[in-house]
Structure 1
Amino acid sequence: MADREPVAELEPRFSSDGATPTSWTEGRERLRRAEVYWLTTVRPGGSPHVTPLLAVWLDGALHFCTGPDERKARNLAGNPPCVLTTGCDALGEGLDLLVEGEAVRLTDDPDLRRVSDAYLSKYGEGWRFAVRDGAFYHGPGPPRETDPGAAWVYEVAPKKAFGFGKGGTFSQTRWRFQRTQTREMEGEIFMKWTLEVVVVPVSDVERAKAFYAGKLGFDLDHDTKISDEYHVVQLTPPGSGCSIVLGKGIVDMKPGSLKGLQLVVKDIRAARAQLVGRGVGVGEVQVVGASGPRPASDGEDLDNVGFVFFEDPDGNGWAVQQISARD
């Protein structure tokens, strides 16, 4: 993955007069040279888990390894967004760095060998890994009874990054990475594919349009009726990059048969209040974790785990989840 050049923005509220944005070239170099990082993941119940680890910068992303049964691996299995931080503990000097992204497990042995080589080059013989079966192992391949176990390798490409400059001039830089980057591997271009439209099967187009536009507040993009047998309505949830299509003569699906549609909001309690105020039959706020859903308690932190559920007039099922960090 080629290093991606982000847009750098200075936050003047937290920067000294005359400060300028830190270049991504400097930020990237410090990420490459740092030796210790801190990884923040989210437990199934929504509380954070923070742990120090070693990582390498390769192909525009940070890479780290961990045992599959360790807490951070278990957290990432259900919630891949994470944060990696590094920097200097002194106030008068240095640049502290924070990288937000999603941890993707690497399982291709050729890719893993390149990461293994990077670990060896950066940290020395104590961090020499053998690669086999999509994982890291210490040593060239010890007998099973003495094998310390596999280490899974994760790649975190930055979605957002922050740099906090310290010393005589304080600065806060935010680097925004473009969402239309491509990845080139083995001569083939891998592009980011975005979901554009989901068709929702309904029995009455006008009734469904009134529900989605009138009660849910979806924006009406277009309403096209070509004939009595072909009628297409497209609507988009506020702030969403994906739309829904209602219509007649589009797909052969039973009305009400679509389940599992999901919206994301920053405040699930406020979202539920809006839905109730608009006359939508929505359930109480639920906390969804490893043990299944349960009613939310007053004052409980609902980030990533808070949900409400409702159906449209035909019975198509929707969930709304609170994720406050989502752009």
Structure 2
Amino acid sequence: MSSGSLLIVIPYPQKSGIFSVYMTGYLDQYKKLGYEITTEKLYFWEGKIRYSLKWLYLMRYLADRKKTILLHVHTIPASGPFIILFLLLSRVLNRKVIVVSHETVQTYAKHLPRFARWIAYFYESLVVHLSSFYVVHTSFHKKEIESFAPTPKLRVIPHPAVKVEVKERERTIWGFYGMLSAKKGVDLLIDTYQEFPPGSLPQLKIYGAAAPGEEAYYESCRQMVKSEFSSLIHFTGMISEADKAEEFSKLSLMILPYRYISQSGVLSEATMHRVPFLASDLTFFRDFKDKFGCGRLFKTEDKESLKEEFVKISKDPLCISDEEFAALQNELSIERCAGEFQKLISKQN
């Protein structure tokens, strides 16, 4: 017997984008819970105007009284202006639309002029108030929304990770994983790493491709690698999901030197592979460490602080204890997070 019908709308930077492992995990869980699933993608980097018009096409789904609509994952540049029309019509027709927001407004509005930042906050407040529920991943994000658009519709459901079989082997490599962009600080990582004599630290692997529009930054990071470190610092490009468990099993440390960010799915995924982390002391990373342990922090954008942590960790490598691992597996499991969404889906409008 069907539990109901879901439309899941997923924004992607490019048409070549694939379902992330956590999104695939959600789809699997919703199917296990008995939901009939329809998925639609929005591409917001290639043909931005053309694809933002797709919201008008998606309005046809609002004719189905029994369909709950989940927007994974809303961000200001991803959703575009026509989401407002979509949400307005959903309110008129009394349809349930759950918006899942991936990043804080201040993250995306950080470099905008003041008048544009006000527009961004106004736009976000409209999305918040027009949705049936507005889901964020962190308490930090919740507090930001409450500061300009307080509402009882707010919910916190953490960024999940799919449980994996952790391979037991000797871990000898440090790594970075993710789409490379200036905000993620890979240049700081490479610069600091090369302050040490070649071979005195574990090899460093940079897993990931350039984020859309960040191709020049990616290439500049590659050019930073000195000849004497060419055999120690490796740019692998993106790795497939099939290869991820094998690659992550080699890592003794995941380094996340972000300059600014509101949350990180990479952190959940790395720790689910039992890879400890070293991250900048941004609010999300600090909250994660306070709750789960599993790593250490350094001062954001502080080369000397990062260097000090490299020295400490090279002498005394980090590990994730059994207690820490059990706690994060429970809290961040895709099963638990999908169950939290099911509660919202089941609530009456």
Q: TM-score, normalised by structure 2?
A: 0.27
Structure richer in strand, relative to its length:
1
TM-score, scaled to structure 1:
0.28
Larger radius of gyration: 1
